[in-house]
Structure 1
Amino acid sequence: MSTSDLLAFFNSVVTLTAAVVAALVTYRIGKGQKDISERQAEVAEREAKTSYNKLKLDLFDRRLSIYDVVCDIVDEWTLPENHTSERKARFVTAMNSSRWIFPEEVYQYLKHEVYPEMNDLQVMQHRSELTEEEKKDCLRTEARLMGHRDQRIDQVFGPHLTLEA
């Protein structure tokens, strides 16, 4: 074998070796990029789940806040000295806010059942003279209002005050 043949042979071997090394490096880089992409997808999925859970927690907090306001005001409303415009405004604000963060049934319950009874009780308790029948009506209205507080409010709000996993 001549020197030129030997050089041509080594040149071919070096070229082949360089091509194999380049292919291996390209494969390793591609595999690394694939692994990085998979990890990024997992992180993005976890971040999306975290954001969704944060939204659920924020909604729960807002709902619980409205529930607390309603319960507090209904608890206090049976005493005439608690019939303040500030308390009534807090109730109306909570009632109106409920329309946007609860199902419609909660708003309808507050507007058509609780609020009218609060108004009726306020009117009756602030009249200077009541007949016996009006006194009985006043007591019945007070009992219904307390019934809302003791049972019905929890029935209406309860299904919507949960944090699901």
Structure 2
Amino acid sequence: MMTAKCLAENAPTTSVGGVSMAGELPIWVEYVKALGTPSAALLAAAIAGYFAYRQWRTAQNKLKLDLFERRLAVHDAAVSLILKGTQNLTADDVAAFLKAVANARWLFKQPVVDFLKVLQNDALRDLRVQEMAIDEEPDPIKDALEFLTRLEGRATDRMRVLTMLMKDDLTIRH
């Protein structure tokens, strides 16, 4: 009776260059063993690269959103000032506008900044005129005519210019 030890000793062996080939795995298994670890590392690197790319894109979109929100705050302050008109303007309104547009030069192109300066100068002038008018005797007819003359088309024109100048800056592109 033959035992397992006896069978192993009598198994046919082949020899290549003096090295026994008994028990050797097929060649494709050797390739899988050799390339398995680098392939897994390459797959892990690709997945990590994808996540890094998505984080970069998310950060880029967040930056665009933050910039849009800051620009929109300046736009809203300008619209509020324009719609207030000249007669209802208060020092608080002008102060809120000045605070909102303080950093506009870093948010907008020069034509928008120049227009905001025009709005600022007009608002300050209108505020001074109102303060001087308090000391005078009120003349309702004269005041009404001055008001209509100054406002005739002014708010509409300014809104049109503001919209035209800021339309590219108030667009979110991805």
**1: CA distance between counterparts of 2:121 and 2:145?**
17
**2: CA distance between counterparts of 1:37 and 1:72?**
52
**2: CA distance between counterparts of 1:119 and 1:144?**
20
**2: CA distance between counterparts of 1:150 and 1:140?**
18
Aligned residue pairs: how many? Answer: 159
Counterpart residue number, 2:92: 86
Call closer, same or farther: CA 1:28–1:22 in 2, change over 3 Å: same
Gaps of 5+ in 1: none
Does 1:36 pair with 2:41?
no
Call closer, same or farther: CA 1:124–1:130 in 2, change over 3 Å: farther
2:86 is paired with a residue of what secondary structure? coil
Higher helix share: 1
Does 1:54 pair with 2:62?
yes
Task: Say which one has the larger Rg.
Answer: 2
Counterpart residue number, 1:142: 151
Gaps of 5+ in 2: 1-8
* CA deviation map 1:41-87 (0-9, x unaligned): 1221111111101100111011111111111122124333x31x222
Does 1:114 pair with 2:123?
no
Is the contact between residue 121 and residue 141 of structure 1 (CA under 8 Å) also seen in structure 2?
no
Runs of 4+ in 1 over 6 A off after TM superposition: 130-135
Counterpart residue number, 1:100: 106
Call closer, same or farther: CA 1:20–1:14 in 2, change over 3 Å: farther
Identical positions, percent:
21
Q: CA RMSD in A?
A: 3.3
Call closer, same or farther: CA 1:61–1:98 in 2, change over 3 Å: same
**2: CA distance between counterparts of 1:28 and 1:52?**
36
**1: CA distance between counterparts of 2:113 and 2:85?**
19
